[in-house]
Amino acid sequence: MRSSRKAFPWHIIVFLAPAVIIYTLFMIYPLIDSLRLSLYTTETQGGPEIFVGLQNYQRLFTDQNWQPRVTGALINTFEFFAIHMLVQNPLALLLATLLSSRFIALRSVYRTLIFLPSVLSVVLIGFIWQLIFSPVFGRALWAQIGIRLPPLLGEPETALPVLGLVSVWQWVGVPMMLFLAALISIPDELIEAARVDGATAWSVFWRVKLPLIMPTVGIVTVLTFVGNFNAFDLIYTTQGALAAPDYSTDLLGTLFYRTFFGFQLQLGNPTMGAAVAGVMFLIILAGVLLYLFTWQRRLLRNTVEM
């Protein structure tokens, strides 16, 4: 009775065409074209493209104008990622563990409220925290509770960690939800059995729950990794395109924006911008592949099918 007996299954093409065309044109083609562009240069704005091989990449990592910006942004991005891994994800796991207990009343209320900052735009979150740390309103705010506020966002040493924590504050709800979903799906019998054997809540968590939610730990790690290499909005909103003070909050996202789009007096340079995007692409690819071939493969042994 299947339709395979008909001459040509036009309907399959009709069903697939819109998604494939839009996705190919506005996602896959730009990604490939951007990688191609990173191997070219233009001598003048809008001039003819000249193939230069990997020279743009070489410039990024050796040219004295580019190298400090690129390594600075790389180090800052990894620091930003590290803050999320060390603070956001453990905090999310803690909150999820508390919320996964069946004895906690109002757990959906807590869950909904804690997740709220994640649905607000980064622009709003950035401005709210900028106000809280501002030398004017912020100082008044902290003085009321007896704290003399140092200019945290104005000092190169503190600006990036503080913004990292702001980002953690905004996004902690996302990994919390993922951990919670995983924890809830653990069969009760397993936990009961461990309890009957005399295990404490502490050891049940480390010996039973954590090993079972390892797939989610892996997914959260990858999402955190990819998300941080995408980060731009928070720095742009609070510190500007120049990632003040003195580029100390510059991430790959802000460097990418400045390079290809330009800012103030510097003209945008699409080919160098494409090279920055190429570096970001390779780092993300390396991270995702590492996840797929180590973590995922190890976990797949337990699963029957995808």
| Nearest to other proteins of 161, 218 (CB atom) | 218
Of the residues 96, 219, 235, 251, which one makes contact with other proteins according to CB under 8 A: 219
| Nearest to other proteins of 159, 219 (CB atom) | 219
Residues 162-201 that bind other proteins (CB under 8 A): 169, 172-174, 177-178, 181-182, 195, 201
Distance between CA 180 and CA 174 in Å, rounded? 10
From residue 23 to residue 62, the character string flagging contacts with other proteins as x (rule: CB under 8 A) and all else as - is: x-xxxxxxx-xx--x-------------------------
β-pairing, 49-51 with 262-263?
Answer: unpaired
235 binds other proteins (CB under 8 A): no
Token reading at 127? 């401005």
Q: What is the DSSP string of 14-67?
A: HHHHHHHHHHIIIIIHHHHHHHHHTTEEESSTT--EEE-TTHHHHHHHHSTTTH
14 binds other proteins (CB under 8 A): yes
Of the residues 50, 86, 140, 286, which one makes contact with other proteins according to CB under 8 A: 140
Minimum separation from the CB atom of position 192 to other proteins (A): 9
CA distances from 152 to 131, 135, 176, 188 (A): 12, 9, 28, 46
Minimum separation from the CB atom of position 71 to other proteins (A): 20
| Nearest to other proteins of 90, 157 (CB atom) | 90
Q: Cβ of 183: how many Cβ atoms within 10 Å? A: 21
Residues 105-134 that bind other proteins (CB under 8 A): 110-117, 119-124, 127-129, 131-132
Contacts of 76 (CB under 8 A, 6+ apart): 160, 248, 249, 250, 251
Candidate segments 70-78, 104-112, 152-160, 293-301, binder of other proteins by CB under 8 A: 104-112
Of the residues 41, 224, 237, 249, which one makes contact with other proteins according to CB under 8 A: 237
Q: Cβ of 10: how many Cβ atoms within 10 Å? A: 9
User: Are the CB atoms for 70 and 279 separated by under 8 Å?
Assistant: yes
Of the residues 73, 159, 251, 277, which one makes contact with other proteins according to CB under 8 A: 277
Candidate segments 81-89, 153-161, 267-275, 294-302, binder of other proteins by CB under 8 A: 267-275
Q: At what angle do helices 156-171 and 122-132 cross, to 10 degrees?
A: 130
9 binds other proteins (CB under 8 A): yes
User: Are the CB atoms for 78 and 224 separated by under 8 Å?
Assistant: no
Residues 71-90 that bind other proteins (CB under 8 A): none
Q: What is the DSSP letter of 186?
A: S
* Count of chain residues binding other proteins (CB under 8 A): 91
299 binds other proteins (CB under 8 A): no
Minimum separation from the CB atom of position 141 to other proteins (A): 5
